[in-house]
Structures are given as structure tokens and as C-alpha cells.
Structure 1
Amino acid sequence: MTLQYNKASLSACTSILVGRKASIDGSTMIGRNEDAKASWPKHFVVHPHEEFNEPQKYVSNENGFTMELPQIRYKYSATPEWTDKEGLFEEDGFNEFGVAMSATESAYSNQAVLGVDPLVKDGIGEEAMVTVVLPYVKTAREGVKRLGEIVEKYGTSETNGVLFSDQKEVWYFENGSGHYWVAQRIPDDSYAVVANQLAIQEIDFNDPDNFMFKLDIQEFVNDYNLNATPQTFNFRKIFGTHDQSDAIYSTPRVWYGQQQFSGKTDESPESQELDFIKKADRLLSIDDVQGYLSSHFEGTEFDPLNKSANNKRYRPISLAKTQESHVLQIRPDLKPEIAGVQWLSMGVSSQSVYVPFYMGITDTPEEYKIGKLPYDEKSAYWTFKLAGVLLDSHYPELGTMFKEQQKSINITLRKMLRDFDIKSLSKDDDQLPQFLTSASQEMAKTALDGYKELTAKLITQSTDFSPLNFKTDMNL
């Protein structure tokens, strides 16, 4: 099979980051929808801790990016593509130290910046970032530092945003050109939503606790006269784009999240001045974060499921091109193995469920390690995807039943997680990995079985909607 697919040219995601004091239970949370292509399976794997005798080398199948890697690779989880012919795209996961990473939020740089620091054809891109960063860091801050050093040394082939977190801190990293980058810590009492634009605004170069950056970025901007308002240093305005496509494609998703979490305002969905950092009008829960990533402008005239004149005006957050959606939650006052939960929704997030997997797992269910093109009934990706495909043709008739089953599965998964949390506290260190692995697999099986049952109902009820149907007198 010859693949005619370029992930980088199609990738278009939505992200959310929540500080620990902004959450209802003290968790840090980062989440993202990986959006690229309507049918493109994902897997979920755990790479074991390995210590090699020789230095390792990474070579990208996508663009030839090459770099040396340390001989010690920490255990980490990831969601790679079903094929590595166009690159790995491992996208998101935890490592053994409880560091979470999600890469990337695709963005765009303006031509003035790229004219003086172009993107590097064989530099690091989304395809490689998780693989060459996550297994080699012990904190979120170290993750930012390592990625920044790689971008400076090798250059980058794309403009991207990258999410990092640990039990205490949440960071958002952005590169704005071939070699220049900044990162901002999300304040503990705040959140941020991002949608395919450079998002970071004012940089405080005298606040190393909350900002990191390429050291000569101010000199670079000044030397090439890139800052139209030199009294401030607004990274988004200096490096980003601000055109009509941003107003239609990107900012409405940010607007919707901020309207949901910070209260209704008179701001336009197309505003180019929306804040990066926001405070919510309440403490945010895992349901809030997953609900945002599963949303499509519900309650507004922009919902594609409405019949209003504006129902297709803006690109929704959850859409058919979502391959997987994830929320990496790190809860307080627990061992890292138990504290970290990788909530993974295969396929379209609004039509799937987020299955919780403990950070301390040593393996994933077989169904999550398989699935190619075309459809494979044994694959987790295709199990969740199939239910959505069956729903799409008859949303008005089947939507209520679908949502009720989805809600029931979500409630069951949350109860199971709570029960497993309690049981895990009594396990010895040598018992814990197997217990968490078995618990996670049991929760995954519950979700898969629930969706197979849902699919059976959808098929059964759909049979009555055939265009060849005819109301026949039962006596004939």
C-alpha cells in the first residue's frame, strides 16, 4: 500500500491546560484533540524502561530529522499511528516520573518572522517530539528545557505548541520560527484553551519561575524590526498570524471555552484579542475538561447539529477528523503511579468515552495495540469509531439513546476508578504495577463491551430507516 498522507499538513487540534488550584480536586490537567483525518487509526502502547549499551539515534521517517539520544530511556506511554511509514506521531503520554506531555497544537507563523528565521525542512516536528523528549525528563520544566534546546540546535520544521505537566506545574511551549521559542507556566489558579494559533502573549523576561525562552529572542526581534509595539513583547503579535482564517477557524473555539468557563461576555467569537490566560468562574473538573474537548458549540447557533444559517460558520472542537482525544490528569497526594490518569478517547470525542488508564501500567489491552486500514472489528479505535459512524446517519432518531448509553458507561468508569483508587492504596510497591495494569484493562473492557452493545442497538434500530422501507399491512 502506498500512503498518500502528510500528517503535518492536516493536523489541526484543540488544547486545554488547567492549573492545580483551578481544578476542583487539586489536579493538574492537560488535554488535546488530535485531529487529522476521519479514518486514521491510533494505537496505545507502553514502552518499558530500557538501558542501552550504546548511544541511541532517532531518525524520522517523515522528514529525516536525526539526533542522538541518551542510553537510558525511561518508561513512557504513547499513542502512535497505526503505521510508522510517515512517522511515529506518539502524541501524548506519561513517563515513569509522572511527567505528562502532549504534542502538538499546530499553529502558524507570519511571513516577516519566517523570512528571517525560516522553518527547517529536516528539523524536529510533531512526529518526533514525544519520542525524543518525554522518556528523558523528570519534571515538566525539564521537558520545556529539553525541547527548547533541541529546537535551538536542530531547528523545527513546523510551528507548534506543546503541553507539559507534572503534579505541581503546567507549562505551554511554543516555537514561533525555525529556532525561536518561548514557554509560559499556566498560573496555578488559571486555565488556557488553545486552537491552532500562537497563543502566548506578554513575556516577562525577568520572571524565570513562569517564563522560559531562547535567550537571544529579544535581540533577534529588535535586530530585524519585528515588534510593532516595542514597549511590550507580545509573542503572539510578533510571531503569529492574525488574518480572517484565524477568526473563522481558530478563535471561535477559544471563545467557546472561555464563555463556558469564565462566564458570558460580549466578546466576538472572531476576536483576535482573546486572552491566553484566564480564570474560571468555578473550580474545573475532569468532566469540564472532557466536555470542552467533546463540544461542538452546543447552546449556540454555531452547533453543526442545529439547522440555523450559521451552523457551519465555525470549525467545531469535536469533529469527524479527531483520531483520539486525551486528558492527562495528575491528582495530588498520591504516588505518581496512581496519581496520573491518562483518559483516552479513541475516535471522535463527542461520540466516544474517555477510558482511564493509570500512569503505572506496564502494558495496554490488545485491542488498543491493533487496528489498521481498512476497518478491523477487533480494534479499540474502530470499535468506538463504528458507533459514531452508525449514529451519524440518523442523529435525530438515535441521538438520545446514544447519549444515554454513553452517560451510563461514563458513570460506570468513574465508579470503577474510585474503587480501584482505594484498593491501590493497600498494594505493596511490587504488587502495584500489575494491579494498576489489570484495573486499567478491566475499565477498558467495560468501555469496549458497552460500545459493542451500543453498536448492536444502533444496527438494530437503523434497519427501519432504509429508503426501501414501506409501511405494509401486517395482514398481507
Structure 2
Amino acid sequence: MEYNKAELSACTSILVGKKATIDGSTMIGRNEDAQASWPKHFVVHPHIEHTTAQTFVSKANGFKMSLPQEQFKYTATPEWTTKEGLFEEDGFNEYGVAMSATESAYANETVLGADPLVEDGIGEEAMVTVVLPYVKSARDGVARLGAIVEEYGTCETNGILFSDDDEVWYMETGTGHYWVAQRIPDDSYAVVANQLAIQTIDFADSDNFMFADQIAEFVETNHLNPNPQTFNFRKIFGTQTLSDEHYSTPRVWWGQQQFSGFTDESPMSEELAFIKKANRLLSIDDVKMYLSSHFEKTPYDPMNESSQNHLFRPISLAKTQESHILQHRPNLDPTVACVQWIAMGVSAQSVYVPFYLGIDETPEAYQLGTLPYDGNSAYWVYKLVSVLVDGHYKEFGKQLQATQKQVNITLNKGLRDADQQAQSLAGVELTKFLTQTGVALSNQALSAYRKLTADIITASTDFSRLNFKTDLNL
């Protein structure tokens, strides 16, 4: 089976500043949406100090660049096959820098005509691999990727998420060589859905904005700004189409309605703000809820019987390969502070399993999974439940929800207990403990889902069309 991920990728992202969260965490998260059946793995790359020059060459489009000889330890969720490229997508490095790439977006024909995309420039497939192992802060990540885009060009229009213990940044590549980035204010959040989202750029505010050299001159020289009194990146570089209003803006609208309170704004509005303040402090559970949502309690929910139930593209959908949340908690060593929550498969029907940055290996089930189905793979364990439940949601939906609730309680308690035990450990002992914790918690979740699978299959045997109510006297 072959496919072009660049043509299919369509994700949803969330970013939350440290003063907007209930415990002072920074959080970034994203659903990696591309194809309904395309396994993901979860791996740890060790710290390596190479003795020879290093070069990256992309299998996706031939993008090529030199790399530093020192590679920091980092985690990632690559594809099951490298045939179409790596697509490592998300992870933490040993300095507690988090990166998620990418949120696919679209630029308009006018700006692309002035600076076309570069066919062999950097794309989603390569970004985590050539950036995350080489930076020591979120701001460094933006600067490194920005420099790469300016030098080599990019083959796609994308949004990229970065965070560390202090800052959260959202970066957007607009055309072949031009990009901007904005720091999410500490007391705010942002949700993004396949559109260029960043609005007004303040070129004098280097604390909160970063951008490509000469971007202002590029826009002015090519007469690209429809409102010259300000510099609104979304208005200059982005699109406003009927497709956007059905595919993208409703997901942003739903998140803002959930976190900032209900308004009379339309789900199809092209004027929704990028940066918002929540009406409460947000928790990890709020972020999980958003990435797992599908317009619940509205006519737009695909799970209900409304005539509008497929009017808008939901946040969680069948094409989600994996969903992740990168949480950096305060006042802890990065090995314990940084938790990578991973939900394999469809986030609405999966669970987010926490893994500490301090692990030196991932569970075996997370290193497995190919095509076709493989029952030993974590991806396929969660995906199988989705397939079974989808056919009989009325019969098994509540059972799925009950399993999710119990597993979430178990995982949350397990993480809290592990946090306490980790305080008395260091060095090799700490690494071993954190690794074992990841294995234990993931096994608990997988066991619960395997039991759910067995229960559903057993109950489903009575759904055959060949059933007939037989008279026992015959």
C-alpha cells in the first residue's frame, strides 16, 4: 500500500501557556491525521556524538542538509515504514524541548506566485529529525527551523509547535522561504486547524514574535498586503474559502466555545481569534478532551442522527494515526517533568498513555506494527477496538466509555505514584524506574483494551444475519 502523506495530512493542534494551566505546565498537542490504516511506532533515540560529518537525506523528496555531529537524546513517533520517509512527528529532547510537526496549512496563490514552494525543500517528514535533536529551548527550535526554511526552502505550508518549561511557540511557514512565529502568552491558549492562524505581527516585539529576514520587504515589494496599515500574516498569506469554513474553522470555533465560553460566533467565521484566554485554568484532561472531541452536544456530531452531522470535519476522526500531548510540568527535573502522552489510533476511542522523558526504551508493543494487522502492536490494539465499536456503536459505545474512564483513572494514579517514587531516585536507577513505569502503565492500558476486544467479539457473535429464532420443539 502506498500513499502521499503530504496530500492527506490534516491535523488539529492546541497550545497552552504555563499561567493558563491548572498546575503551571506548558502543553502542546496535536492529532496526526493522514490515513485510517497506517501504523505508528514510538521510539527513543539516544544521545550520540558522531566522529564523522553527518548528512540528512529525505526519502520523501530528496531534501538534503548537513547535521551537527552531536545529537541530543529525543523521543519520536515515526511511521511503521521509512519507504515514504520518517515522519517522526513529535517528541521531547533531553533538554526538555518539545516539538510537534506539522499542522498542515494552505497559502494563497498570490503569495505562492511571488515565492513558490520548493520541491526539494524541507517538509513535515524531516522537521523533527533535523531540528529537535539539536536545540536547547523552544525559541532555539523556531530559530533553527526558520534558518533552514530560509536557506533550503520548504515544500509545504505548515504550522509547527514548540515548547519548553517556560515558553510555548507556534511557527508557520507560508511560502517557499517566508515564515513567522508567535509566542503564546503565558495566560493564553490557541487551537489551530489546517489554516494559517497567526494574525498581526509586531516586528518591534522580539520577545513574542520571530520571522524570516526581509519578510516585510517581500510583502511590500510584491504588493501583497490588502491592509497596509497593519501586517496580518493570516490575511496576507492565508486562504478564505468555503472549504476552510467547513473543514477548518469549525474545529477552532468548538475549542474556543469549550474553553472561553459560548458566544454567538459562527462555526464558519473567518474572523476567529488566534490567541484566546480561557474562562478557567486548563488541565491535561481539557487538552485530551479537545483532541478527542467530535462536536459533542451539537447538531454537528457525526455520532448523532442530525441532518447536519457531517456538515463539518470533526477534530477526532478515523484517519488519526496517533494523538500526542507534550506536557512540561514545573519544579521537576526534565526527566520526570516532561510527559509525552500518546493515544495510538483514533483519539476519541483510544486512551492517552503517559511516558516520561527519562525512559531509555519504549515498550515492545510500541515498536511494532506493520500492514496488515498485527495483534502485538499497540497501534493495532487500539485500532481494532475502533473498528469493532464503529460497527455497533449503540451496543458498545457505553462499554468503550466505561473502559476509557477506568483506564484513565488507573493511568493518572499510576503517574502520581511514580512521581513520588521518582523523587528518591537518580542516575541509572531513575532511568530504569521511569522506563519500567512506562512499560507497566502501557501494559495496563493494553490489557484493558484487549479485554474489551474479547468482550465485544463474544457479544457480536449474536449479531449475524443468519440468526433465526428457532422453535425449541422442532
Partner residue of 1:72?
70
Secondary structure, counterpart of 2:129 in structure 1: helix
Q: Which residue of 2 aligns with 1:98?
A: 96
The CA deviation at 1:215 is 2.1
1:233 alignment partner AA: F
Q: CA deviation at 1:475?
A: 5.2
Q: Give the corresponding residue for 1:254.
A: 252
- 1:399 corresponding residue in structure 2: 397
Q: Distance in 1 between matches of 2:313 and 2:456?
A: 27
- The match for 2:128 is 130
In 1, Cα distance between equivalents of 2:109 and 2:87: 27
1:197-216 to 2 correspondences below 5 Å: 197-216=195-214
1:272 counterpart letter in structure 2: E
CA distance in 2 between counterparts of 1:278 and 1:236 reads 16
In structure 2, the CA distance between the partners of 1:429 and 1:116, relative to structure 1 (3 Å rule), is same
CA distance in 2, matches of 1:245, 1:214: 29
Alpha-carbon distance in structure 1 between the residues aligned to 2:221 and 2:35: 41
Residue in structure 2 matched with residue 145 of structure 1 by the alignment? 143
Secondary structure of the structure 1 residue equivalent to 2:230:
coil
Q: TM-score normalized by structure 2?
A: 0.99
- Deviations along 1:302-348, whole A, 9 cap, x unmatched? 00011111000000000000000000001000000000000000000
Query: Which residue of structure 1 lines up, in the alignment, with residue 447 of structure 2?
Result: 449
Q: State the AA in 1 paired with 2:238.
A: G
Give runs of aligned pairs for residues 52-451 of structure 1, distance below 5 A. Answer: 52-451=50-449
After superposing the two structures, state which structure 1 stretch, 109-118 or 431-440, moved more.
Answer: 431-440
Q: Distance in 1 between matches of 2:472 and 2:279?
A: 58
Deviation at 1:249, TM superposition (A): 0.4
User: What secondary structure does 1:397 align onto?
Assistant: helix
Aligned residue identity for 1:193: V
Aligned partners of 1:156, 1:371: CA distance in 2, in Å? Answer: 30
Tell me, what secondary structure is at the counterpart of 1:398? helix
In the other structure, the counterpart of 2:27 is 29
Q: Distance in 1 between matches of 2:473 and 2:321?
A: 49
SS at match of 1:85: coil
Number of residue pairs matched by the alignment: 474
CA apart distance, 1:401: 1.0
Supply the distance in 1 between the matched residues of 2:110 and 2:62 (Cα, whole angstroms). Answer: 27
How far did 1:474 drift?
A: 4.5
Secondary structure of the 1:449 match is helix
Q: By how many angstroms is 1:473 displaced?
A: 3.7
User: Structure 2: how far apart are the matches of 1:179 and 1:72?
Assistant: 27
Q: Secondary structure at the match of 1:212?
A: strand
Question: What is the distance in 2 between the residues matched to 1:393 and 1:215?
Answer: 53
CA displacement at 1:284 relative to structure 2 = 0.4
Deviation per CA, 1:81-127: give whole Å up to 9, x if none. 00001000000000000000000000000000000100000000000
TM-superposed CA distance for 1:430, in Å, is: 3.1
Q: Distance in 2 between matches of 1:452 and 1:186?
A: 40
Note the 1:3-22 alignment, pairs <5 A.
3-22=1-20
**CA shift at 1:70, angstroms?**
0.2
Going from structure 1 to structure 2, the CA distance change for 1:57 and 1:264 (only over 3 Å counts) comes to: same
Counterparts of 1:60 and 1:473, CA distance in 2: 66
Give the Cα separation in 2 of the matches to 1:48 and 1:470. Answer: 60
Q: In structure 1, what residue type is equivalent to 2:326? A: L
The alignment's TM-score, normalised by the length of structure 1, stands at: 0.99
Q: Does 1:48 align with 2:46?
A: yes
Q: Please list the CA deviations of residues 324-381 of structure 1 after superposition, one character each: whole Å capped at 9, or x if unmatched.
A: 0000001000000000000000000000000000011100011100110000010010
Query: How far, CA to CA, are the matches of 1:474 and 1:98 in structure 2?
Result: 68
Q: Please state whether the residue corresponding to 1:173 is helix, strand or coil.
A: strand
For residues 49-75 of structure 1, the C-alpha deviation after alignment (integer angstroms, 9 at most, x for no partner) is 000011100000000000000000000
Could you tell me which runs of 5 or more consecutive residues in structure 2 were left unpaired when the two chains were aligned: none
* 2:431 counterpart SS class: helix
Q: Which residue of 1 aligns with 2:463?
A: 465
What per-residue deviation string (whole Å, max 9, x for no partner) do you get for residues 266-325 of structure 1?
000000000000000000010000000000000000000111110000000000000000
- How many angstroms apart in 1 are the aligned matches of 2:465 and 2:127? 49
2:223 partner SS = coil
Aligned-residue offset at 1:431: 1.5
With over 3 angstroms needed to count, the CA separation of the structure-2 counterparts of 1:55 and 1:394, relative to structure 1, is same
In the alignment, the residues of structure 2 paired with residue 370 and residue 405 of structure 1 have an alpha-carbon distance, to the nearest angstrom, of 24
- Report the alpha carbon displacement of residue 7 of structure 1 after superposing the two structures with TM: 0.5
Q: Distance in 2 between matches of 1:428 and 1:79?
A: 27
Partner SS state of residue 430, structure 1? helix
Deviation for aligned residue 1:470? 2.0
Q: Distance in 2 between matches of 1:51 and 1:428?
A: 23
How far apart are the structure 2 equivalents of 1:297 and 1:442?
A: 33
Query: How far has the Cα of 1:4 moved from its partner?
Result: 2.5
Q: Secondary structure at the residue paired with 1:326?
A: strand
Q: CA deviation at 1:203?
A: 0.5
Residue 406 of structure 1 and its aligned partner are, at CA, apart by 1.1
Counterpart CA distance in 1 for 2:466 and 2:19 is 57
Identity of aligned residues (%): 70
Measured after TM superposition, the shift of residue 392 of structure 1 is 0.4
Paired amino acid for 1:117: D
